[in-house]
Amino acid sequence: MRWIIRIIVTLVVLVMLAIVALLLIPADRIAAIAATRFEAATGRQMVISGGVHPTLWPELGIRTGGVQIANAPWSKQGPMLSAEGLTVGVDPVALLSGAVKVGRVDLIAPKIVLERDKDGHGNWEMAGSAPATGTAAPATTTEGGGLPALSIDRATITGGAVTWIDDAAGTTQTVDGIDATLKLPDAAGPLDLTAAAQVNRQPVSVTLHLDKLAAVTLGQPTPVALKLVAGGSTVGFTGTADTGKLAVQGTLDADLGDLSALFAAAGLADPGLPQGLGAKRIAAKGMLVAGADGSVTLDQATLTLDGNTLTGKLGVTTAGARPKLTAILSAGKLDLKALGGSGGAAGSGGTSAAGWSKAPIDASPLSLADADVTLGAAGLDLGTVTLGQTDVAVQLVAGKATVALKQVAAYQGTISGQIVVDGAKGLAVSSDLTVNKVALQPILTDFAGYTRLHGTGTAKIALNAAGGSMDALMHALAGSGSITFGQGELDGFDLAGMLTHLNANYMGAGAKTIFDSITGSYTVKAGVLSNSDLAFKSPLVDASGKGTVDIGGRTMDYTVTPVALQGVAGANGISVPLKISGGWDAPKFGLDMTSGVGQQIDAQKKKLEDKAKAEAAKALGLSTDTTGTSSGTSGTSVKDAAKQGLLKLLGGN
């Protein structure tokens, strides 16, 4: 018992002696010692102004006036750190055992400047000075080389600011209004940090929990929980951090409901994402894995873009020449109306009454990153186009995007093939597509604003073009293709009526041309489509067609040459070409009466006259030879014989 009393008395005496020593040492001396030790450890000068005042309550400690820490010699930004004041309180009993148990640390209005020069050197890189000869370095670490026996009940920063300067990039970013609280009650135990600040005038807060700070400093894995809030956006992570491998693994739960605040905080312009692709909200959940190689993977992911939900796996790597996105995603029906504009004729996507748009197309964003994305969706609503089951793969490498349409259900048929957009040097596009048994009226309505053609069709399209605008692309189109249409009808004009009556006015509401099939092939050069083998078949009209369609100029010069009403009494196979010309927005129709039609009519007229003569001669009991004269009449014409016969019938001589 006496030993216990002696121990207690000894501790009390030691504490009293420590307090007395602290009170007796001049404040300036304390400041000088602290500054000298700091400079020896870091190589940077520390200046404490306003004196150092010892405190006994609520903790044993000191309170300083202004504090400054010098910047790197090459920096011109003033002190690396300056603060209006610093208060430190320690546990005197813990000090006697060799541990540093800090009750509180209050840093008032610190201003921190972090700068990287053009060569990549940071002002936070501190060399320190070597210990004096024969002087052993102080043993400040615990066994294993970890943290010293340091604990902090509570450390605060009020009214702080951090400025980041990148001389190489020529950028400066400032985080101000920093209020932070850190708790580390046990050096080997958990660390908790809460902080709030203004980042580019946006409120941002962070909450961090580390299960073992010592594990972090020793490069060992430790459980971690992080929550970041920026405006109305939140990012949460719960998992494991391994500083030895520079890796994290765990569950990500992000809900970015305030994208404008998030981009502003990051110092980025709001990209103006389209509705359906994150215009108002982006949310992501899944298993996050990030490594030292710059790779980030989100597995078992659920991605929400406004009202669209996708599931699968996402990955980003930054080790190559460009960041690369990889993804395997599936989805239900996706609402992407914003990508197709406001609807109506597809001509709005780059056309007007005056022609194709000449606005420059910037393809440079294609070179910002690479991608390898596979998407399977139950449907896509693109505004002007509605697709069914869609399976596509997109590869983007060095500015060249290749879109493989594995299978796209559209317009009661399917579309397959490949589209390539190369933006590495200007803009070049190409397509190799097969359109199989699609409904013609809706697809032509969506893509060309043309509503008159009904039926089903199959087409092969192989086209390419290069240019800096839609107008340039349309004038540079080249390639070939073919069409095969099944049974259908053309609204708006009656081809049989036009040819029967030799009148091009058989047009308007209720007029239509029914056909059994339309086939043909075409070539395209310098934006002009040429066709010479169009075959049009219908119950009443067979026709052939040839001509050109100037896609760049949006005009056409085409001739349909039919044989009207074949097999119908009275038609006699007269072939009257139908000319279609002018702008394709309002083409003109006209019957070509100069292309041999007169000869056809004269021939038909002669045939009718010969037939009439033959029938008249037969009625009069005469016969005609090939010269048109009647045998038995001594050269008397059929006309004269008919006249005589008529007089006899009337009782004349």
Give percent of the chain with pLDDT exceeding 90: 38
What is the separation of C-alpha 505 from the centre of its chain, rounded to a whole number of angstroms? 49
> E strands, 467-537, where?
478-493, 507-515, 517-525, 528-537
Query: Is residue 483's pLDDT more than 80?
Result: yes
Written as one string, the DSSP assignment of 330-388 is EEEEEE-GGGGTTSS-GGGTTEETTEE--PBP--GGGGS-EEEEEEEEEEEE-SS-EEE
Q: Report which of residues 604 and 420 the model is more confident about.
A: 420
Q: Report which of residues 35 and 600 the model is more confident about.
A: 35
Q: Backbone phi, then psi, for 263, in 5-degree steps?
A: -65, -40
Using CA atoms, how far apart are residues 501 and 544, in angstroms rounded to an integer? 20
Using CA atoms, how far apart are residues 395 and 316, in angstroms rounded to an integer? 14
Element (H, E) at 157: strand 150-166
Q: Which amino acid is at 414?
A: T
Contact 613, 624 (CB under 8 A): yes
pLDDT tier for residue 635 given thresholds of 50, 70 and 90: very low
Per-residue model confidence (pLDDT) at position 209: 96
Token pair, residue 36, equals 């000298």
Query: Is residue 438's pLDDT more than 80?
Result: yes
Token pair, residue 301, equals 């992911």
Q: Which amino acid is at 362?
A: D
What distance, in Å, lies between the first and last C-alpha atoms of the chain? 178
Query: Is residue 238's pLDDT more than 50?
Result: yes
Per-residue model confidence (pLDDT) at position 401: 93
Using CA atoms, how far apart are residues 483 and 533, in angstroms rounded to an integer? 11
Measured CA to CA in angstroms, residue 385 lies from 48, 329, 401, 499, 605 at distances of 71, 21, 21, 37, 54
Could you read off the pLDDT of 581-627 as tens digits, one per residue? Answer: 888 777 887 877 666 555 555 666 566 667 666 766 666 665 555 45
Query: Is residue 330's pLDDT more than 70?
Result: yes
Average of per-residue pLDDT values in the chain: 79
Top mean pLDDT of 101-105, 252-256, 450-454 is at 252-256
- Pick the closest to residue 46 from 27, 71, 28, 75 (CA basis): 71
Q: Report which of residues 467 and 259 the model is more confident about.
A: 467
Query: Is residue 223's pLDDT more than 90?
Result: yes
Per-residue model confidence (pLDDT) at position 430: 95
Measured CA to CA in angstroms, residue 330 lies from 101, 252, 388, 390, 411 at distances of 55, 20, 14, 10, 22
DSSP code at position 630: B
Helix (H, G, I), strand (E, B) or coil at 41: helix
Per-residue model confidence (pLDDT) at position 529: 95
Query: Is residue 144's pLDDT more than 50?
Result: no
pLDDT tier for residue 478 given thresholds of 50, 70 and 90: very high
Per-residue model confidence (pLDDT) at position 353: 52
Contact 122, 165 (CB under 8 A): no
Per-residue model confidence (pLDDT) at position 327: 95
Query: Is residue 459's pLDDT more than 50?
Result: yes
**Of 241-255, 471-485, 572-586, 597-611, where does mean pLDDT reach its minimum?**
597-611
Per-residue model confidence (pLDDT) at position 370: 92
Kindly state the average pLDDT of the residues 205-216.
90
**Of 48-62, 501-515, 613-627, where does mean pLDDT reach its minimum?**
613-627
Contact 491, 512 (CB under 8 A): yes
Global pTM reads 0.68
- Pick the closest to residue 410 from 458, 367, 448 (CA basis): 458
Q: Report which of residues 613 and 65 the model is more confident about.
A: 65
**Of 218-232, 299-313, 526-540, 620-634, where does mean pLDDT reach its minimum?**
620-634
Question: What residues contact residue 16 under an 8 Å CB cut-off, 6+ apart?
Answer: none
Phi-psi region of 444 (alpha: psi -120 to 50; beta: other; left: phi over 0): alpha
Per-residue model confidence (pLDDT) at position 449: 65
Q: Which amino acid is at 309?
A: T
pLDDT tier for residue 461 given thresholds of 50, 70 and 90: very high
Query: Is residue 106's pLDDT more than 80?
Result: yes
Residue 290 CB coordination number (10 Å)? 20
Phi-psi region of 262 (alpha: psi -120 to 50; beta: other; left: phi over 0): alpha
Query: Is residue 10's pLDDT more than 70?
Result: no
Query: Is residue 418's pLDDT more than 90?
Result: yes
Could you read off the pLDDT of 342-380 as tens digits, one per residue? Answer: 433 334 445 555 678 899 988 888 888 899 999 999 998
Using CA atoms, how far apart are residues 207 and 204, in angstroms rounded to an integer? 10
Per-residue model confidence (pLDDT) at position 24: 59
What is the separation of C-alpha 353 from the centre of its chain, rounded to a whole number of angstroms? 29
Measured CA to CA in angstroms, residue 153 lies from 183, 206, 612 at distances of 5, 19, 124
Q: Which amino acid is at 554?
A: R
DSSP code at position 130: P
Per-residue model confidence (pLDDT) at position 605: 59
Q: Which amino acid is at 180?
A: A
Top mean pLDDT of 198-202, 222-226, 543-547 is at 222-226
Q: Backbone phi, then psi, for 378, in 5-degree steps?
A: -70, -20
Using CA atoms, how far apart are residues 454 and 487, in angstroms rounded to an integer? 8
Kindly state the average pLDDT of the residues 434-442.
92
Q: Report which of residues 585 and 457 the model is more confident about.
A: 457
Per-residue model confidence (pLDDT) at position 379: 92
Question: What residues contact residue 566 under an 8 Å CB cut-off, 6+ apart?
Answer: 540, 541, 542, 573
- Pick the closest to residue 380 from 336, 434, 339, 341 (CA basis): 336
Kindly state the average pLDDT of the residues 510-536.
92
Residue 13 CB coordination number (10 Å)? 10
DSSP code at position 470: H
Kindly state the average pLDDT of the residues 294-323.
91
Using CA atoms, how far apart are residues 538 and 567, in angstroms rounded to an integer? 12
Strands 100-108 and 150-166: parallel
Q: Report which of residues 183 and 130 the model is more confident about.
A: 183
Q: Backbone phi, then psi, for 332, in 5-degree steps?
A: -80, -140
